[in-house]
């Protein structure tokens, strides 16, 4: 007869804690996007040093089918696309984190969570956990209460 009674759970408190954690992790995801941009910049500078130096290409036994300048010109487009992707992803994560904190833009945060799933493995974890939390009925109620101005959040 020494059974323990279950502890009462305040689901709104748990949901609020989960949403606050998810907001922080979205901000961390935005920070990782900044690190991605810095990595791209370092890689660009390294490749620029290699492809812009004609001494590297002088002692080749066979001539290059495509001049190094043209190769690097094509690579610049990939760097630009990667940087644009990181900037967009970081910006979306910041906006989503702010929305999670203020309980606004639930659908937007779900879309960003889907995009985050592309970043294996950390983004996938963040995306899946965001989707799981945002699809709870109790979280929908929190967002609905915030949208109606009840002041519950």
Contacts of 91 (CB under 8 A, 6+ apart): 30
Q: Judge contact between 138 and 17, C-beta under 8 A.
A: no
Count the neighbouring beta carbons within 10 Å of the beta carbon of residue 97. Answer: 21
pLDDT digits (tens, 9 = 90+) for 72-108: 889 999 999 999 999 999 999 999 999 999 999 999 9
User: What sign for the dihedral angle of Cα 112, 87, 120, 95?
Assistant: negative
- DSSP summary character for residue 149: T
pTM: 0.80
Mean per-residue pLDDT over the chain, rounded: 87
pLDDT digits (tens, 9 = 90+) for 21-42: 999 999 999 999 999 999 999 9
- Provide the pLDDT confidence category of residue 152 given band limits of 50, 70 and 90: very low
Q: Judge contact between 79 and 44, C-beta under 8 A.
A: yes
């Amino acid at each position: 007869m020494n059974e323990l009674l279950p502890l009462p759970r305040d689901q709104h408190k748990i949901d609020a804690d989960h949403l606050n954690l998810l907001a922080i992790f979205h901000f961390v995801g935005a920070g990782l996007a900044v690190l991605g941009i810095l990595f791209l910049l370092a890689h660009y500078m390294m490749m620029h040093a290699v492809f812009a130096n004609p001494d590297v290409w002088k002692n080749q036994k066979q001539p290059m089918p495509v001049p190094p300048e043209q190769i690097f010109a094509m690579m610049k487009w990939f760097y630009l696309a990667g940087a644009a992707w990181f900037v967009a992803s970081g910006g979306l994560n910041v906006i989503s984190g702010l929305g999670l904190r203020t309980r606004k833009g639930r659908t937007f945060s779900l879309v960003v969570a889907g995009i985050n799933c592309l970043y294996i493995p950390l983004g996938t974890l963040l995306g899946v956990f965001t989707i799981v939390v945002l699809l709870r009925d109790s979280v929908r109620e929190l967002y609905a209460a915030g949208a109606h101005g009840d002041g519950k959040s």
